[in-house]
Amino acid sequence: MKVIVAGGGIAGMSVALSLHAAGIDATVFESAPRIQALGLGIHLQPNAVRELFELGLAAELTRNAVPIEELGFHTALGQRVWAEPRGLKAGYRWPQLAINRGTLQVLLLEAVQRRLGAGHVVAGQTLEAFEQDRDGVTAHFRDRTTGGRLTVRGDVLIGADGLHSVVRKHFYPVQPLRYGGQLMWRSAAETEPFLGGRTFIIAGHREQKIVAYPMFQRPDGRMIVNWIVELGTPGDGPPREEWNRTVDTSLFADAFANWRFDWLDVPSLIDAGTAVFEFPKVDRDPIPQWTFGRVTLIGDAAHPMHPTGSQAGSQAVVDARALAHCLATQGDPYAGLAAYQEHRLPPMRELALHNRTLGPERVLDLATERAPGGFTRVEDVLAPEELRRYATEFKELAGFAVDQLNNRPSYSVSVT
């Protein structure tokens, strides 16, 4: 079986590695002329880390990432609403990791080139069209540099081409982006460790929030912290050509000027940021079908979602492993892609819709609504069972409750 993968991001590289491990040939076609270490942080939940470890990447990931051992929710006054252990500390068999997205991208790329061969990653090729027949799929690419055309024939086409997927648009030509009402700014800063140096924090509420976590530890103990701030912003959001533009912190810093907690000085963290990038919180409405004969979708192309609970990147990795498992065990492209859709589409539809309601972050809105001036005891504002329910429901929905993940059969396939 020969698989064409459109898109060389985390989803595309993960599926190429997963297919290879399952004994299936794959070639990745990426539109960027060069695949390089760009981007800021990404937070990998244990469900994604399990899959990457089972692909044999444990040593590389552990060497380049920071294990996250606690998740903490705090109010805009810095008061702790809820905290829970994460990763190995929570009883998972796999850690929870934070890493620079560009580092992860290159790590995956090098693994693909090493295992599949350098010729199995073709950069600078933009997918323009494709068609399928009873015997296979024909994909047509345009060279970003020369404008030349490349036609490739395969048994399966996987759309791993992200939020603006050409493959998805082929089947859903009118599927507008849905703006969530918040603008987000993200950067990275070198700082002293906070809350033990292994904590992922979310502070504030829907209309004003900061997310911060360490993604690299220097030999001297200082951390490189990935941070994201959000503000509610009415309207339709910026036009696509302005996404990920670099901006000055004056656009948002004043809103956080008083956020000096005894465990984190938010204004200082913002001031220490390197390049600051702006982008809107967007998703698309879930679609009823990912698989069309010999063509299917994974990752953001299949289920673009709000970044609640750090699930977008993690679920793309799980998609990749599940897809490879289904293709390898069903023995037929049609049956394999249909089985993949049946397995993954329903929970991802529910998760994408749930993320619009803030998921476990809902406890921050409740704490703000019930005690806008702060509280003496969080138990007077939110009952412990209410807090646990929000946390537990989300993990179960996303497929990484401790027992659920630890006891799930592996997606690995024995190749003889």
Q: How many residues does the chain have?
A: 416
Percent of the chain whose predicted confidence (pLDDT) is above 70:
99
pLDDT 10s digits, 255-280: 999 999 999 999 999 999 989 999 99
Supply the DSSP symbol for 318: H
Q: How many Cα atoms within 13 Å fall on the side-chain side of residue 118?
A: 0
Please check the confidence at residue 241 and state whether its pLDDT lies above 70.
no
Tokens for 410, please give them: 């592996």
- Our count of domains for the chain comes to 2
Q: Which residue segment(s) compose the domain that 247 sits in?
A: 178-283
pLDDT 10s digits, 141-193: 999 999 999 999 999 999 999 999 999 999 999 999 999 999 999 999 999 99
pLDDT 10s digits, 22-69: 999 999 999 987 876 667 899 999 999 999 999 999 999 999 999 999
Percent of the chain whose predicted confidence (pLDDT) is above 90:
88
- Reduced to 3 states (helix: H, G, I; strand: E, B; else coil), residue 341 is helix
Please check the confidence at residue 5 and state whether its pLDDT lies above 70.
yes
Band (pLDDT 50/70/90 cuts) for residue 305 is very high
Phi first, then psi, for residue 106 (nearest 5°) are -70, -40
pLDDT at 367: 95
10 occurs within a structural domain: yes
Looking at the structure, tell me whether residues 151 and 291 fall in a common domain.
yes
Q: Which residue has the higher pLDDT, 203 or 35?
A: 203
pLDDT at 309: 79
Q: Decide: 66 and 194 in contact? Cβ < 8 Å.
A: no
pLDDT at 242: 66
pTM (2 d.p.): 0.95
Q: Decide: 302 and 169 in contact? Cβ < 8 Å.
A: no
Looking at the structure, tell me whether residues 291 and 266 fall in a common domain.
no
Q: Which residue has the higher pLDDT, 307 or 46?
A: 46
CATH of the domain at 148: 3.50.50.60
Q: Residue 296, by phi and psi: left (phi above 0), alpha (psi -120 to 50) or beta?
A: beta
pLDDT at 358: 85
- What is the per-residue burial (b if ≥16 Cβ within 10 Å, else e) of 82-94? bebebbeebebeb
Beta-ladder partners of 44:
97
Looking at the structure, tell me whether residues 186 and 169 fall in a common domain.
no
Looking at the structure, tell me whether residues 239 and 257 fall in a common domain.
yes
pLDDT 10s digits, 119-153: 999 999 999 999 999 999 999 999 999 999 999 99
